[in-house]
Amino acid sequence: MDQIITLLANELGEKELYVAAVVKLLDEGNTIPFIARYRKELHGGMDDGKLRTLNERLSALRNLEKRREEVLGAIEAQGALTEELRAAIASASTLSEVEDLYLPFRPKRRTRASMAREKGLEPLALRLLAQEKDEPAPDVLAVDYVNSELGVATVEEALAGASDIIAETVSDSADARKMLRDRLMRFARLQSEQAKDADSVYRLYYEFSQTLCKLQGHQILAINRGEKEGWLKVRVDVPDAEVLPQLVRMFVIPGRSASDFVRAAVEDSWQRLLQPSMEREMRGALTDSASDGAIHNFALNLKPLLLQPPVRNKVTLGFDPGYRMGCKLAVVDGTGKVLDTAVIYPTAPARKVAEAKAVMDRLIRRHGIETIAIGNGTASRESEQFVAEVLRDHPGVSYMVVSEAGASVYSASALAAEEFPEYDVNLRSAVSIARRMQDPLAELVKIDPKAIGVGQYQHDMPQARLSEALEGVVEDCVYAVGADLNTASPALLGYIAGLTKATA
């Protein structure tokens, strides 16, 4: 634990005393906003952002430590744990490094190398890989390992088995994988091409090629989705000249009798084992990195939307535009209480403009409407033109186009049904649009943050990580703005420290 505190302090540029205090507070169940605002004296005034970074890194480092202990235990149970290996695992700074060190000891399915070991060929493989000076030629060494009872009938079969063992040894090498990771990121290219003879939204990637280290997050996520939907064929193009010579140098001692044999085994390891494995790993790492960036951008975009200035204490008309199903209207008072609802058809195909205008005039006069919130979805432009025409006769009334992202999701939710059991789903959407103009934060907290529509490829990201990040943003915003206990909804109160969704 002390090592984790030290690492976090160095990464964040904070005193270990402050970091340790925050870790203790988090372990006790305190929320980030609570720690940021009411325990400043314990952490030197770290802001919400730094505290969340600390919390994320704390979780990652604890997961690393847990996996490290699991790996050490598994290797020790096999009786294969040396002090050198223990030190290497203890100093590994990433999960991939720990997994690389564990790879030679991980239980494997039956492989060509494992079958060769069962035939007693491992001593031959180790002797050939050692490439000692003045050793006999490989075919001479292999004679002693021919054993028909074990299934090794010829020298060639003995050498083939030894080659398989060497290939797997190379593939399991942590140093080799670390080198390849670096070389692939610098020199390999991600290539995509058209898979279906038709146009699609993925046309930009029909003839696409880019070095892995230069790929943008949105490109990775788009290519992944295009491949998943069957529009793209994707592969990682690795220039052998940039990786194979370095790999050979790691294992081959020039000028020895077994040099050519080991070189051939290394090349086989690259082509058959390492290249497919490393390509999968690199694509996974790229996707993880792209997802992290997308989640970060999603959170950045969500915050200003939640913190839009409210238009409080005004009688508001929520206008949910539409075509065939009409435009849904909902009038709410200054506290968000629903006063009236209606459906009008000023847009195509009905175009009942005069009738719709009469309904609008009646609602404005009856309820003293002061402002109109128009959803920015389907038929928004035509609806805005219609509202502007209506308001020529009502100069004291203003309108604003607001985002209706997530309104339909909310209107069909159990929360909306509980709040407005007497209203149709479409009318609930109009109420939500009106209320999100009056108090954006109070209304938007009722909607799953992923449905608010301020990010890309949210359905392709790890949903747990995305939800955790977005809920953290909502929590920060609720604490920044505060909540009126007299008017706040249970959804809003659920983000307050000390309250749960149930108690709220």
pLDDT digits (tens, 9 = 90+) for 399-413: 999 988 888 888 888
Q: So what's the pLDDT on residue 484?
A: 77
Q: So what's the pLDDT on residue 463?
A: 85
At residue 426 the predicted structure's pLDDT band, cuts being 50, 70 and 90, is confident
264, 249 in Cβ contact below 8 A?
no
pLDDT tens digits, one per residue of 438-450? 999 988 888 888 7
Specify the 3-state DSSP secondary structure of 343.
strand
Kindly report the average pLDDT of the chain as a whole number. 92
Q: Which long-range CB contacts under 8 A does 413-422 form with residues at least 24 apart?
A: 413/446, 413/447, 415/446, 415/491, 416/446, 419/489, 420/338
Taking 80 as the threshold, does the pLDDT of residue 498 lie above it? no
Fold topology of 2-105: Arc Repressor Mutant, subunit A (1.10.10)
Q: Tell how strand 316-320 and strand 371-375 pair up.
A: parallel
97, 174 in Cβ contact below 8 A?
yes
Q: So what's the pLDDT on residue 483?
A: 81
The structural architecture, per CATH, of the domain 121-188+238-302 is Orthogonal Bundle (1.10)
pLDDT tens digits, one per residue of 340-351? 999 999 999 999
pLDDT tens digits, one per residue of 235-258? 999 999 999 999 999 999 999 999
Whether this model's pTM surpasses 0.85: no
Least confident of 34-48, 51-65, 90-104, 472-486: 472-486
Q: So what's the pLDDT on residue 504?
A: 60
**DSSP E strand stretches across 277-380:** 316-320, 327-332, 338-344, 371-375
At residue 452 the predicted structure's pLDDT band, cuts being 50, 70 and 90, is confident
Q: So what's the pLDDT on residue 56?
A: 92
349 cis-preceded (ω within 30 degrees of 0): yes
The structural architecture, per CATH, of the domain 316-438 is 2-Layer Sandwich (3.30)
Domain residue limits, the chain: 2-105, 121-188+238-302, 316-438, 445-504
